[in-house]
């Protein structure tokens, strides 16, 4: 709830400041500026998935975290775009269906991290994920919708 309120506050404050002609700087990481830019087109993201135990029972309370490769630094280390708003918890049926915050128009390398209770943490990426794009032709500002879907079976620790 607090994360949603903070996100709403950031949107409102950003809109007011941009109307006043004030744009905020973004923090550099290893000398590389993020691609987030005022006036850049956006896409919408939704994380849809199901988490089951080895015996096929749905698992409630698993933390699902979405992140995307931001850049690879000069030493070859991958740096991922991560935000608190992109953490979700599975419901009693083991499902998650939630909008994710992202500012890019194309998720190149995405990972979903699963963690919770008495189960071994798991990272899903590449072929483990079904990433689908539907182009929104009504607006040049909004460049469409991405759905990032997964199904995972977790092993007990």
Q: Is 39 left (phi over 0), alpha (psi -120 to 50) or beta?
A: left
Tell me how crowded residue 141 is: count the other CB atoms within 10 A of its CB.
Answer: 10
pLDDT in tens, the chain (157 residues): 666 667 777 777 777 777 776 655 444 444 444 445 556 667 788 999 999 999 999 999 999 999 988 888 899 888 888 888 899 999 999 999 999 888 777 777 899 999 987 999 999 999 999 988 876 656 666 677 889 999 999 999 8
Query: In Å, how far are 57, 105, 149, 154 from 126, measured between CA atoms?
Result: 25, 18, 11, 18
User: How many Å from the N-terminal Cα to the C-terminal Cα in the chain?
Assistant: 30
Instruction: For residue 85, give the CATH number of its domain.
Output: 2.60.130.10
The model carries a pTM of 0.69
33 domain-assigned = no
The DSSP secondary-structure symbol of 84 reads G
Count: domains in the chain: 1
103 domain-assigned = yes
127 domain-assigned = yes
Domain that holds residue 119: 42-154
| Run of H or E including 9 | helix 2-19
27 domain-assigned = no
């Amino acid at each position: 709830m607090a994360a949603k309120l903070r996100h709403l506050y950031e949107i409102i404050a950003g809109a007011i400041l941009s109307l006043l002609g004030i744009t905020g700087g973004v923090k550099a990481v290893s000398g590389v500026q993020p691609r987030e830019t005022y006036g850049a087109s956006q896409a919408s993201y939704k994380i849809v998935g199901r988490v089951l135990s080895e015996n096929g029972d749905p698992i409630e309370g698993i933390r699902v975290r979405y992140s995307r490769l931001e850049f690879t630094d000069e030493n070859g280390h991958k740096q991922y775009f991560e935000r608190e708003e992109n953490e979700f918890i599975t419901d009693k049926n083991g499902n998650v269906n939630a909008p994710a915050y992202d500012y890019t128009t194309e998720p190149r390398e995405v990972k979903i991290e699963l963690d919770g209770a008495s189960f071994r943490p798991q990272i899903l990426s590449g072929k483990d994920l079904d990433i689908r794009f539907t182009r929104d032709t009504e607006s040049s500002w909004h460049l469409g919708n991405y759905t990032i879907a997964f199904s995972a079976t977790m092993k007990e620790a």
